[in-house]
Amino acid sequence: MAMIILGISLGTRNIGFALMRNGELKDYGVKCFKQKWTRTKESEILSSIEKLVEYDEATAIALKSPDPIRSSKRLNHLNDRLLKALEKGKVKVCSYSLLTVKIGLGIKDKRKDGFLWHISELYPELRKPYLKEINNRHSYYDRMFEAIALAKWCAHENE
């Protein structure tokens, strides 16, 4: 049976996702939710993730655990609701801190652009988003790169 891992870097405005099938990167991207925070927006985010899980027939989900120092109450609540929703399904959920993933993948550079560069070196098709991201005033693709790293680490851990 194929190992299909969906990496998710959760945010209240942007969500990064990456799909790996048998250790090979198949899809990646960013979903944006620009409206102000409401219960409807929260439901839209959760529904969007559930659709990704169903559509891609994921067997495992690699989820970025929120940093307790940097996360907001809304992000923590969203993360808790997502975990509860995923528990009902038949999908294995692996939650990792970004530090764990960086150490596991051997990324020694603590700067964001060093992390992005390392991931773009693993997957040459990410060069264009990498160059866009390092030239952006406001980060956009960073969650996507995090999701790719999460999926990569989960695939490595479950080999």
DSSP E strand boundaries for the chain: 4-9, 14-21, 24-32, 60-64, 92-96
Residues near 70 by beta carbon (within 8 Å), at least 6 away in sequence: none
pLDDT tens track for 22-31: 889 999 999 9
Better-scored residue on pLDDT, 90 or 63: 63
Q: Could you give all domains of the chain from N- to C-terminal order, each with its CATH number? A: 4-157 (3.30.420.10)
The whole-number pLDDT of residue 56 equals 81
pLDDT tens digits along 33-45: 999 999 999 999 9
pTM, rounded to two decimals: 0.93
CA distances from 31 to 11, 39, 97, 106, 152 (A): 10, 18, 21, 28, 20
Tell me the pLDDT band of 148, cut-offs 50, 70 and 90.
very high
Residue-averaged pLDDT of the chain = 90
pLDDT in tens, 97-112: 998 999 999 988 888 8
The CA distance from 110 to 87, in Å, is 33
As a dihedral over the C-alpha atoms of residue 77, residue 82, residue 87, residue 93, rounded to 10 degrees, the angle is: -110
Percent of the chain with pLDDT over 90: 64
Q: Could you read off the pLDDT of 58-68 as tens digits, one per residue?
A: 899 999 998 88
DSSP 1-45: ---EEEEEE--SSEEEEEEEETTEEEEEEEEE--SPP-HHHHHHH
**Tokens matching residue 25:** 């990167």
Share of the chain above pLDDT 70, in %: 99
